[in-house]
Structure 1
Amino acid sequence: MDFLFMDFLFMGLLYAGILGVQYVLSSQKNVYLGAVVPLLFVAGMTWRYVNVESVSTMHYLLMTGFGLLCLIAEWDRGREVFRTNQEKEWNRIRIQDLK
């Protein structure tokens, strides 16, 4: 029972860490940094599908699609934060120019 809880906790922390890295990379100036984690995710899932016989095609498609959906949502949120921060910076520059 404890092993199952630890496995669940570890996987939850792993997923939270991956989404955190995706958010940080997506909120940077370079928009393409946000594509790193989804590409690694698809490559990893495809490698697992090809090399592990017990993975069904439906399972692969559902897990990859759900994972990409979550990663793209984080990418969108990171880009929105970047745009908001950029707009705040432009407003500060405009205010300084008016003085």
Structure 2
Amino acid sequence: MPEISSFVLMFIMVAIQSFMSRRQHVIFGVFIPILFAVYMTWMFSTGEIDSVLKYVILLIVGLIILVAEWSNGRKAVRKCHEEEMNKMKTQDIK
């Protein structure tokens, strides 16, 4: 796969991961990292990635980026939930 399309694919995966990780259920943020690991393993097994070191580095860096995005999304959901609870508490006090 040409390098520009790989870059575009990774950008799309990170965008989808960002969207999915901000959903209410935690499990939605797990799909993209699993798909990424499967895709990278397929690329390695078919010979598109020619060295083990390149495979391991790409896999680790990609998973770190996707898991970091998932973590940021979960923090955003938690913050939004806390703000909503604070609004509800202030409404109850009045």
Q: TM-score band, normalised by the shorter chain?
A: 0.7 to 0.9
Distance in 1, matches of 2:28 and 2:51, equals 31
Find 1:60's aligned residue among 41, 55, 60: 55
Specify whether residues 67 and 57 from structure 1 end up closer, same or farther in structure 2 by C-alpha distance, changes over 3 A only.
Answer: same
Specify whether residues 83 and 57 from structure 1 end up closer, same or farther in structure 2 by C-alpha distance, changes over 3 A only.
Answer: same
Find 1:15's aligned residue among 7, 10, 18: 10
Aligned residues: 93
- Please, which runs of 5 or more residues in structure 1 have no aligned partner? none
- Please, which runs of 5 or more residues in structure 2 have no aligned partner? none
Find 2:34's aligned residue among 19, 33, 39: 39
Poorly superposed stretches of 4+, deviation over 6 Å: none
Q: Does 1:75 align with 2:81?
A: no
Find 1:91's aligned residue among 78, 86, 89: 86
Distance in 2, matches of 1:22 and 1:85, equals 18
Specify the SS of the correspondent of 2:50: coil
Specify the SS of the correspondent of 1:52: coil
User: In the alignment, residue 21 of structure 1 is paired with which amino acid?
Assistant: I
